[in-house]
Amino acid sequence: PSPQDPPYLRGLNTPQREAVLTTEGPVLVLAGAGTGKTAALTARLGHLLFTKKAWPSEILSVTFTNKAAREMKHRVGNLVGDVVEGMPWLGTFHAIGAKMLRRHAELVGLQSNFTILDTDDQLRLLKQLILAADLDEKRWPARALAGLIDGWKNKGLVPADIDAGESELYANGRGGEMYAAYQDRLKTLNACDFGDLLLHMLVILKTDRAVLADYQQRFKYIMVDEYQDTNSVQYLWLRLLAQERKNICCVGDDDQSIYSWRGAQVENILKFEKDFPGAKVIRLEQNYRSTPHILGAASGVIANNSGRLGKQLWTELDVGEKVKVLGVWDGPEEARRVGDEIETCKRAGKSLDEIAILVRAQHQTREFEDRFISIGLPYRIVGGFRFYERAEIRDALAYLRVVAQPADDLAFERIVNVPKRGLGDKAVQKVHQLARAQAIPLTTAAARILDTDELTGAARRTLGNLVGDMARWRSMAGELPHPELARIVLDESGYTAMWQAEKSAEAAGRLENLTELVRAMEEYENLGAFLEHVSLVMDNESNAEDPKVTIMTIHAAKGLEYDTVFLVGWEEGLFPSQRSLDEGGLASLEEERRLAYVAITRARRKAIIIHAANRRIYGQWTSSIPSRFVGELPDVHIESENTMSGGESLWRANWSERADPFADVARGSGRGPGWQRAAGLSPGVDPAKPGGAFTSRTFSREPSRVVEARASAVSL
């Protein structure tokens, strides 16, 4: 480093400078979390512009999220000024793909104003095609076909590439034919799906020499962040575009590959040197983000994975605090503790913007949101909706509102045809007309219209059923506990079944959210109080500029960093997820472990890992044991605290407070740390200690019986 260095080089270490200054030829930066890969890539962009090696429009830079693209633009803007405004090719693969495809749409039979379908549209279209093909949608769901087609597109395969083996994966060998039909249909509609944004462009680049040559000339430099998460089609794209000039710089970390479920292939890192012979491989080993304890904890966990490229990380930062591993009684206590700790941070002068809570699954956010609302702590949810704003939650709430407040027209409108009951727009219009004419609420109008002969046939029947259902639910409202009522309403209305019929990860997530909603209701005295709470929550949208705690999934946190990070729900079956334990074998367990590595390495100064001894799952208390990843944290880097151990008074207080039927089991179990026995563990086995049996037990709601529901033992 010298004093004459341009600003973007200042402070960079030697290998980082090398990554910035080696502008010609292929470069692969392979390095662990927080070593300044993104920082180097940003400086490199600044360098190319500052030294006028290329105009902004001559650089292709791929980021993983739109947010990352904005950030990079902003930082480079600070270095070189306004020219960054004209960086048309800085963005995500999808954004860049869409922009290119609009310029060449006619080459794949589209017009440049094509529409991009979302997942819902895609499914609707597939359902029509399945019907037209005389297939039974129940047996061959549209979701399954959509998943297959997405997978093929991620691999860069067009319908003609689908061989008999692949085709066999759907409807006895009709997969390829259905894929072709779908693509044809899209073309007639002048539409494409997300996968097409890349696939169509790949086809164009492969078949049209002029277009390929044009882009190969145009892009003097190509840069890719988070390279470990590129899938095949993205990889093929890059290879074509870079083949001429070969000025491509990719940065990544094999230990942070967490998107294989979306077709990402970490092998792309290994292929790089083969495709670009003579590539310069740069390793960064100094971590600038995290304290030694945090780094040590993360390295200890990831060391349990096999087949890593392997790397050493070190840091000059102060040793700092040990990673805190906190065992709490249950979910609500977890949320309470996190809230308390954040208040403490706040009093100590920390900005809320510097604090994040990372969850494994979306439904985990609810407990924190409710807690933060009640203590007035501002928060934001990144990469998803706030819990009560999710579509399935709004639908479910609309049902409950109709029951609680018959005059709630908006709620009625929302659910009248969800799930689809074959009530056409015309029928609904008639209900509206009657309501207006008589100045009565829609639900009343719906009942009254049945006394007339306005509606006939199926419409009359279905509306009659709905009106009858609503009346019955209202009469139950006084007698049943409100969570029970909610369960019944969601079941009898067919709403739960609607999502159960869709066998996809997304639908599974929605069902989890619905369960979580019912669970949330248990904390309120009655339905009215709960709905009141929800409307307050919805109204809580505070000023966007104000500092807020961030809540998000680990996946969404990739590439980001926070001063203080809470890693919650580190329990077997939650993280690693039950899915990964049940279905995936070693590969998916290792992907979960990479997620754990990503999660820990988001923290700069303070990481708090929390596991709860009990979770309520589907209305039942389930004892949970700490995640195996907790056991993999090296002792020297952690400091454990367990609010239950020896805290008999606490668990007692907890039980009596709750008046749960299950409480009898705990109380009846006599002396000693009853929570262990209640949790189905033999006394002496401390579930907070790793090495205990990896089993988890569920309890029926009858007080005297303890039922083993599943033993999710996965041997390592």
- Give ∠ CA 281-284-285 in degrees, rounded to 5: 135
315 counts as binding ligand ATP under rule CB under 6 A:
no
Contact 310, 345 (CB under 8 A): no
Q: By rule CB under 6 A, what string of x and - marks binding of each residue 273-292 to ligand ATP?
A: ---------------xx---
3-state secondary structure of 688: coil
Q: Is 331 or 559 the residue whose CB approaches Mg ion more closely?
A: 559
Contact 72, 61 (CB under 8 A): yes
Q: Which of residues 549-568 bind Mg ion (CB under 5 A)?
A: 559
CB of 226 to Mg ion, least distance (A): 7
Alpha helices in 87-118 (DSSP H): 93-104
How many residues sit close enough to Mg ion to count as binding (CB under 5 A)? Answer: 3
Using the rule CB under 6 A, which residue among 9, 15, 16, 607 binds ligand ATP? 16
Residue 580's binding partner among ligand ATP, Mg ion, none (Cβ under 5 to 8 angstroms by kind) is none
Alpha carbon separation from 91 to 61, 64, 144, 219, 703 (Å, rounded): 7, 8, 30, 14, 57
Size of the chain in residues: 716
Catalytic hit among 42, 63, 65, 256: 256
How many residues sit close enough to ligand ATP to count as binding (CB under 6 A)? Answer: 19
CB of 302 to Mg ion, least distance (A): 16
What crossing angle do the helices spanning 482-492 and 391-404 adopt, rounded to 10°? 110
Q: Which of residues 196-255 bind ligand ATP (CB under 6 A)?
A: 253
What distance, in Å, lies between the first and last C-alpha atoms of the chain?
47
Contact 650, 643 (CB under 8 A): yes
Contact 224, 251 (CB under 8 A): yes
256 in active site: yes
Q: Is 33 or 186 the residue whose CB approaches ligand ATP more closely?
A: 33
Q: Is 176 or 559 the residue whose CB approaches Mg ion more closely?
A: 559
32 is in an annotated binding site: yes
Residue 622's binding partner among Mg ion, ligand ATP, none (Cβ under 5 to 8 angstroms by kind) is none
Of the ranges 22-30, 31-39, 348-356, 454-462, which one interacts with Mg ion (CB under 5 A)?
31-39
Query: What residues are paired with 61 via a beta bridge?
Result: 90, 223
Q: Which of residues 547-586 bind ligand ATP (CB under 6 A)?
A: 559, 561
Using the rule CB under 6 A, which residue among 9, 20, 37, 626 binds ligand ATP? 37
38 counts as binding ligand ATP under rule CB under 6 A:
yes
Nearest to 143 by CA among 123, 116, 167: 123
Residue 35's binding partner among Mg ion, ligand ATP, none (Cβ under 5 to 8 angstroms by kind) is ligand ATP
Beta-carbon contacts of 319 under 8 Å, excluding residues fewer than 6 positions away, are: 291, 292, 293
Beta-carbon contacts of 461 under 8 Å, excluding residues fewer than 6 positions away, are: none
The C-alpha atoms of residue 483 and residue 550 are separated, in whole angstroms, by 29
CB of 94 to Mg ion, least distance (A): 19
Contact 629, 307 (CB under 8 A): no
Catalytic hit among 225, 369, 660, 686: 225
Residue 115 tokens read as: 């529409």
Catalytic hit among 166, 193, 196, 226: 226
Contact 249, 221 (CB under 8 A): yes
CB of 54 to ligand ATP, least distance (A): 22
593 in active site: no
115 is in an annotated binding site: no
225 in active site: yes
- Binding positions for ATP: 31-38
Q: Which residues are catalytic?
A: 37-38, 225-226, 256, 602
Q: Which residues bind ligand ATP (CB under 6 A)?
A: 11-13, 16, 31, 33-39, 253, 256, 288-289, 559, 561, 601
